[in-house]
Amino acid sequence: MTKRRLDDLGIFGGKPEFQEPVHVGQLNLPPWERFEEAFRGIFARRYFTNHGPLVRELDRRLAEYLGVRNVVCVTNGTVALMVACKAMDLHGEVIVPSFTFPATVQALSWAGLTPVFCDIDPQTHNISAALAEPLISPRTSAILGVHVWGRACDPAGLQRLCNARGIRLFFDAAHGLGCEHDGISLATWGDLAIYSFHATKVFSSAEGGCLATDDDRLAERVRTVRNFHVAETFDRVPLRINGKMTEAQAAMGLLSLENLDHWIRRNVELYRRYAEWDVKESVGAFVDYAGSQRSNHQYCIFDVDPARLGISRNQLLAVMRAENVLARRYFYPGVHRLTPYNLLFPDADLSLPATIAISERLLQLPLGDGIDLGTVDRITAIMEICYRHAGELRVRMEPTIQQ
Ligand SMILES: Cc1ncc(COP(=O)(O)O)c(C=O)c1O
């Protein structure tokens, strides 16, 4: 039965809308038979790791898909970032947004680099050349841009800036497989781009990731850094790590690639349904980050402005959780507020006003193959109750979740 009144809400004792938790991540599954067939092959070959046939095929197929000369698959997106830093031989400071997943910044620290936090444009949720330029110092060796939600972070402007100042540019495109900017794959901007194939992403190898680059020499260095295999020492690199993707991961990745178009179409359908509701009700919270660019629509983001919706993001989150909708504050808080960065840079808040404001407003809602249009309608019905009865809801909610 559709909920209509405040008393129907789980937070006020009503039965939760969903019996099972509805996750925000994609958790897209390939057909079981295809998975079984792929694993039989791995068992028959007794070839589990060390650049096996499936990993090599995934490297090749992804390079084709991304329109780039080289793809090197690795264990996960975090390792891809660490490998990138060593392959590019970075040193000193790297300019990076605080509005990102902690892995972006932590990988820099693992590579012995100092992050310099850049604020974001509140419209795009991304850094830009204009915001990064004042942060360049004699110690800066690179800018690491993040294509948040798969929306490009001013790649042309950042490239011009880095060329002019003689520093390197690379991108965290963890969200961006299947996304383009002005008709060009995100993989081709900068010196290289990394992707994440985590289970929650639209394209998944359970855990996994890759580095993509048009620079053949850099690709050789990446291949050298990501393993200790004696026969694969192509180049002098400062440090190496075991970041090899396994055959099991590659099997999942290849099956994901077969289904990727279907999953993106599905996301588009669900994403539009949320947007239609938002427009119909004049809520004005839905973030159309894709615009006219090709996007994988991996995320459904609502910008909860209390002045418009009537309640805060955290209040809406509490309502959703009580209905078993596991909405997430993505990204919250800014990485600069997390340890160790809050201790290293205690005054960072002062230079990151947009990061703080945006991280307090955004809510990520479920998408992916695990849900259908009916699920979206049930979630927006919950939002509608909040929107229509915001004043009373605010009064009745626990004082602890007023903000
Ligand atoms: C922006 C960003 N960068 C890096 C990562 C790390 O990727 P992984 O989980 O594959 O290590 C993530 C993971 O979600 C991410 O969102």
pLDDT tens digits, one per residue of 168-206? 999 999 999 999 999 999 999 999 999 999 999 999 999
Whether the CB of 259 sits within 6 Å of ligand 1: no
> Are 334 and 364 within one domain?
yes
Domain boundary among 223, 255, 287: 255
Check if the beta carbon of residue 342 is closer than 8 Å to that of residue 117: no
The rounded Å distance from CA 118 to ligand 1 centre is: 18
CATH number at residue 128: 3.40.640.10
Distance between CA atoms of residues 74 and 90, nearest Å: 20
Whether the CB of 26 sits within 6 Å of ligand 1: no
Whether the CB of 296 sits within 6 Å of ligand 1: no
Domain boundary among 255, 271, 301: 255
Q: Give every CB contact of residue 227 below 8 A, 6+ residues apart in sequence.
A: 50, 51, 240, 241, 242, 243, 244
Whether the CB of 359 sits within 6 Å of ligand 1: no
> Are 332 and 209 within one domain?
no
Categorize the per-residue pLDDT at 98 as very low, low, confident or very high, splitting at 50, 70 and 90.
Answer: very high
Instruction: Note if the bond before 122 is cis, omega within 30 degrees.
Output: no
pLDDT reported for residue 25: 83
* Closest CA to ligand 1's atom 8: 77
Whether the CB of 151 sits within 6 Å of ligand 1: no
Check if the beta carbon of residue 129 is closer than 8 Å to that of residue 148: no
Residue 80 pLDDT greater than 90, yes or no? yes
Distance between CA atoms of residues 80 and 245, nearest Å: 11
Whether the CB of 198 sits within 6 Å of ligand 1: yes
> Are 396 and 346 within one domain?
yes
Domain boundary among 255, 278, 293: 255
Check if the beta carbon of residue 5 is closer than 8 Å to that of residue 385: yes
Whether the CB of 107 sits within 6 Å of ligand 1: no
Specify the residue for token string 């005054």.
347
Whether the CB of 106 sits within 6 Å of ligand 1: no
- Comparison of pLDDT for 1 and 309, the residue scoring more: 309
The rounded Å distance from CA 209 to ligand 1 centre is: 9
Check if the beta carbon of residue 82 is closer than 8 Å to that of residue 111: yes
> Are 62 and 158 within one domain?
yes
> Are 118 and 160 within one domain?
yes
Query: 92 exposed, middle or buried (CB, 10 Å; 0-12, 13-18, 19+)?
Result: middle
> Are 225 and 274 within one domain?
no
> Are 211 and 296 within one domain?
no
pLDDT reported for residue 99: 98
Using most ligand atoms within 8 A of CB, pick from 82, 105, 196, 328 the residue to mutate for ligand 1. 196
Using most ligand atoms within 8 A of CB, pick from 78, 202, 205 the residue to mutate for ligand 1. 78
Q: Number of structural domains, the chain?
A: 2
Which atom, in ligand 1's list, is nearest to the CA of 201?
14
Distance between CA atoms of residues 153 and 325, nearest Å: 30
Q: 66: domain range? A: 32-255
CATH number at residue 330: 3.90.1150.10
pLDDT digits over 21-58, tens only?
A: 999 987 899 999 999 999 999 999 999 999 999 999 99
Average of per-residue pLDDT across 256-279:
95
Give the amino acid at 221.
R
Number of other residues whose CB lies within 10 A of the CB of residue 151: 21
Whether the CB of 209 sits within 6 Å of ligand 1: yes
Average of per-residue pLDDT across 109-136:
98
Check if the beta carbon of residue 204 is closer than 8 Å to that of residue 197: yes
φ, ψ of residue 127 in degrees (nearest 5): -75, 170
Whether the CB of 52 sits within 6 Å of ligand 1: no
Which atom, in ligand 1's list, is nearest to the CA of 100?
1
Tell whether 342 is covered by a domain.
yes
- What are the tokens at 334? 């800014």
Q: Is the pTM of this model over 0.85?
A: yes
The rounded Å distance from CA 32 to ligand 1 centre is: 26
Average of per-residue pLDDT across 299-320:
94
> What is the percentage of the chain residues whose pLDDT exceeds 70?
97
pLDDT digits over 206-234, tens only?
A: 999 999 999 999 999 999 999 987 666 66
The lowest-confidence range among 77-91, 118-132, 378-392 is 378-392
pLDDT reported for residue 270: 96
pLDDT reported for residue 231: 62
Which atom, in ligand 1's list, is nearest to the CA of 197?
10
Nearest to 304 by CA among 361, 263, 220: 361
> Are 293 and 223 within one domain?
no
